[in-house]
A and B are shown apart, each in its own frame.
Chain A
């Protein structure tokens, strides 16, 4: 390896060392996210009841040992529904966030690397995508493709990529001036090698840090739209639609709407804590 690669790695090594001193909030965040994700993925194993089995005799039962989060208006076990719902939400959100990230980072990196007309066009498209209020664009797409996860996913990716493209582009612009990137030119590396092997590892980190915020935002959008009835359709369970299904019973059976909401909030807090830990150590590294 050329010495240039050593220079490229230097900031990352410092970052890694910094990360060994783990901040308690990051550990707490990771613990929360780990428990929720694990529980969600083990839903078929953990869930005491099938999520959609109706048992009217047991309807609207309050939380107890038999039903940890109570039952809903047709006697479905809320805990089981929340587990399955969380699994669905997490899979969808992680998928759409990182599809957007992949597209955005690639487009942004290439735009920043080459500049010129491609950069100009990408920049204007990204500007336009960002200008649409997120939910408004997603709703417009749903108006066309119909209610369901599909429309939400298309909408979120259509806006999401633009943010990463901007981020990756601006990182690329400053990387371009670094001596190791100039060295890739001097050594006659192909553009592909320079971008994928040398630029990308250095700019991906910022994008990953940002993606933690994005996961929370997307989860909230997804749950919000499902709650409003344009996301997951009945009888499928996702957290938003479970909350909506409990709304008419909120006075007599508060648990149906409250419990899935708490899971959403906890997951969001967990991811934000991890993200904050990142940004703080990031800040420390850059000010050193």
Chain B
């Protein structure tokens, strides 16, 4: 058990270091002078030299990488160039809407996806199963930004039910302003939830213990809710944890569409202004969330299912 944990955590640490290295290399090893690109063509050589010194870009690369990693670890990744503000406070101001949006998307995907998956798994090949498959395929093929636009047109501009853009804090305000993007985000994730849950439920439903329960005369409802769901939920959680990167990507786009002041739109602003320190930090943070969540999902699975930790290498 400990052995597995240690190995799995070791991989996560390597991944995190890799993330930092890639983000760092992207910006420091690119051809051309990042400072020049950042300041624009009209910058004088003195300005470029001053900015280079201020950002520490004149120090040896190993040194720079060390202080970059240290900055991330100590929660003080430095100063933003465009916003003239510490990156840490920039991000912490904007993290809440992004976090809530991701949660909203997850809730929508689970609340809509679970019944769809359960009913299609109980009667595979039936009309409901086919309908669900068609629905999730369509939902998957919808570009999130386009669906967001269409829903905003319908519910915001025509029906005036929900705000079209922006973010209001407070419980009701947040719910109202995050509903449209949350639904769109959830729908894009739906296909993953439904397929994984349906597949793992099918696997359990054909197991011998289910047949034994049927023979005892238990209702399908009881079998599904009491026994099948319990064993089928875990793979879905793992898949969701792994796909949190997909959710983060969706948030970046949707925050832009609905003009929500979250980390995604901050990343976008930073890219537009070539604010490299901010881009670096957000990229590593986003990657770290994915790494940590999939680590937790794997550990949880190992705790619950001894086959994982006793089996051969799974990673």
Q: A residues within 8 Å of B by Cβ? A: 124-125, 127-137, 139-145, 216, 220-221, 223-224, 227-228, 230, 240, 243, 247, 250-251, 254, 257-258, 261, 264-269, 271-273, 276
B271 with A142: CB separation less than 8 A: yes
B291 contacts chain A at the CB level, 8 A cutoff: yes
Contacts of B26 in A (CB 8 A): 140-141, 144
Q: Which DSSP category, helix, strand, loop or mixed, fits chain B's interface?
A: helix
* Contact partners of B150 in chain A: CB under 8 A: 258, 261
B23 part of interface (Cβ distance < 8 Å): yes
Q: Is the CB of B252 within 8 A of A139?
A: yes
A90 → chain B closest CB, angstroms: 14
- Given known pairs A257-B146, A269-B141, the reply for A131 and B245 (CB within 8 Å) is yes
Tell me if B209 counts as interface (CB < 8 A to partner A).
no
In contact, A136 and B157 (Cβ under 8 angstroms) = no
Q: Can you list 15 residue pairs at the A/B interface with Cβ under 8 Å? A: A124-B11, A127-B15, A128-B22, A131-B15, A132-B245, A133-B246, A139-B279, A140-B27, A145-B30, A228-B256, A251-B157, A257-B149, A261-B149, A265-B141, A265-B146
Partner of B279, one of A143, A216, A220, A227: A143
Q: CA–CA, A224 to B146, complex, Å?
A: 8
Residue of B nearest to A142 (CB): B271
CA distance A269 to B256 in the complex (A): 25
Bound CA span A272–B134, Å: 10
Interface-lining segment among B59-67, B169-177, B280-288: B280-288
Enumerate chain A residues within 8 angstroms of B19, measured Cβ to Cβ. Answer: 128, 131-132
A70 to B270, CA, bound (A): 36
Residues of the A chain whose Cβ atoms lie less than 8 Å from the Cβ of B137: 269, 272-273, 276
Q: Are A216 and B140 in contact (CB under 8 A)?
A: yes
Nearest opposing residue in chain A for B250, CB measure: A135
Instruction: Report B145-177 CB contacts with A as 1/0, cut-off 8 Å.
Output: 110011001000100000000000000000000
Provide the residues of chain B in CB contact with A261, threshold 8 Å: 143, 146, 149-150
Expressed in whole angstroms, the Cα–Cα distance for A167 and B146 within the complex equals: 31
B268 at interface by CB-CB < 8 Å: yes
